[in-house]
Structure 1
Amino acid sequence: MWALVLRLSGFTGALLVWEAVGRSDMFLEGYFPPPSEVFPQVASMLGNQLFLLDLLATTLSVAIGLGIAAAIAMPLGMILATSTLLRTASRAVLEFLRPIPPVALVPLAAIWIGGGPVTKIGLAVFASLWPILYNTMYAVAEVEPLLVATARSCGYGPVRVLLRVVLPSVTPFALTGVRLATPIALAVVISVEMLTGTSGGLGGAVLEAASGVTRMDQVLAIVIIAGVLGLSLHQGLEQLQRRGFGWTVAAREATR
């Protein structure tokens, strides 16, 4: 209860500060509108069918990107974690690719595959791979050796050990990687939409609101909606992890 009160107090305080700053003379008129002007725009946009299609386009792009990244990174992470040879051989390549900003690849991707949805989904996959991949690799390394040895003593082959012992232990940590990758994928998708200007979505809506007669109230409204979208995706994945792997939460609480 107290946690909820504190959160609401912090949120209310932030809105009051924003309102005061927005109505002060610190910024030119219209360049930093207060929440009393921004939130009506949020309500108006959520009632606009074209904007809802943009919101859906961004949401689907993020979801598809995360799904593809998880389908690639989880098996690859388990393979690399269990093979010293492959892990050593691929380390230089992975460490070279991991720090590359996905947005820097937009011109190259646009030349190769155009500026449509494939570009933003592909770059979202690239950005999301690394948290999922490294979480999976570290999780495999932390699997209890006694469990693996027990399974082998019961006649389990390598494949059954992987599916029956390693995979259940690794999946909660891989899902944590997906949660960590969610805001990254969302930021990349919106950035690509803004830079290409051809794939719609929230980024396209921001680009339209910021061009010509700049409507900062609409821009900030879209920023708020994007933040709520990211929070909703994160909370949804967290609830999925709690329901599907509640034993990990119970074990953590018992440890505490």
Structure 2
Amino acid sequence: MTRRREFLLGVLGAVLAFGACEAVSRAGIVRRSYLPPASEVLARAAQLAGDGAFLDGIGATLRAWALGLGLACAIAVPLGLLLGTVPVLDAAVRAVVEFLRPLPSVALIPLVSLLLGSGTGAEVTLIAYASVWPVLFNTVYGLAETDPLARDTLRAFGFGRLGVLLRVELPGTAPFIAAGVRISAAVALILAVASEILSGFGDGLGIFIAQAQTATDGTRDVLAGVLWAGTLGLVINGVLVGAERRLFAWAHEPRDAQRRFGPERQGVRA
């Protein structure tokens, strides 16, 4: 019931936002050239669903998103496990990691385009760079939260470092990794669209938005493209949240139980 209520409240919020934008534009509070009615933007977004060229652009953006996110996970998870299990290595590279992490990916567009050109490889590189950090730090944090009693028990039974990692640490860290992947998925989509807008890479959704700025009725097309980007992000997040709840239901049970029954009904007193 809680999830259903949250869904209904989300729908209500979206309807209220839609109605407010529609009313502001129709009433002339904001010029239509700056803010077209929400109904026109929605109709244009629906019309784009039948445009083959536009859908090809969506596919190009999603391919770059998937490749960049996959590359980020392939780098971040092993590196996070290594840093989380070898404190000396973690201390040695911590300064380098903290230096690189705040650098915005969009600031690297000139350098990446100079080295890799203006193809998909450059876009994927930028996406991977921005997406690697949430997965990396969640992996390291998850390892630190592993139950020490479980580790000591396996060691007492003669399991080596690899056995403890595979049987205790990696399963315990998996929910944290999944949360990092979910965060990185949103970051990757932002970078996929933003890099296309700012640099002209590929022929994806960002290119459509950038080109719409110069059109006669550009604001409507820009907002329709933004609506598509937001919808993609919403769908991706929903799929990942659903998969996370199914695969790691045991990690969510205490929180869900507390939300349903409250602490006192679980036998916990403040």
What TM-score, normalized by structure 1, do the two folds share?
Answer: 0.95
1:30 paired residue number: 33
Change (3 A) 1:188 1:4: closer
* Residue 132 (structure 2) pairs with residue 107 (structure 1): no
1:74 to 62, 66, 77: 77
1:255 offset after TM fit, Å?
Answer: 5.9
| Percentage of matched positions with identical amino acids | 41
2:251 paired residue number: 248
Distance 1:238 1:125 in 2: 21
1:39 offset after TM fit, Å?
Answer: 0.9
1:18 offset after TM fit, Å?
Answer: 0.2
* Residue 38 (structure 2) pairs with residue 16 (structure 1): no
2:97 paired residue number: 94
The letter for the 2-side match of 1:228 is T
1:126 paired residue number: 129
What TM-score, normalized by structure 2, do the two folds share?
Answer: 0.90
* Residue 60 (structure 2) pairs with residue 57 (structure 1): yes
1:176 paired residue number: 179
Structure 2 unaligned regions, length at least 5: 260-270
1:85 to 78, 85, 88: 88
Does the CA-based 8 Å contact 2:186-2:233 persist in structure 1? yes
* Residue 174 (structure 2) pairs with residue 167 (structure 1): no
Write out the 4+ residue segments of structure 1 that deviate beyond 4 Å after TM superposition: none
Local SS of the residue matching 1:159: helix
1:254 offset after TM fit, Å?
Answer: 4.4
Distance 1:179 1:199 in 2: 25
1:2 offset after TM fit, Å?
Answer: 4.0
1:149 paired residue number: 152
Q: Deviations over 1:37-81 (max 9, x none)?
A: 111111110111111111111112112211111111111111111
Distance 1:167 1:3 in 2: 32
Equivalent pairs counted in the alignment come to 256
1:205 to 197, 203, 208: 208
The letter for the 1-side match of 2:139 is T
Structure 1 unaligned regions, length at least 5: none
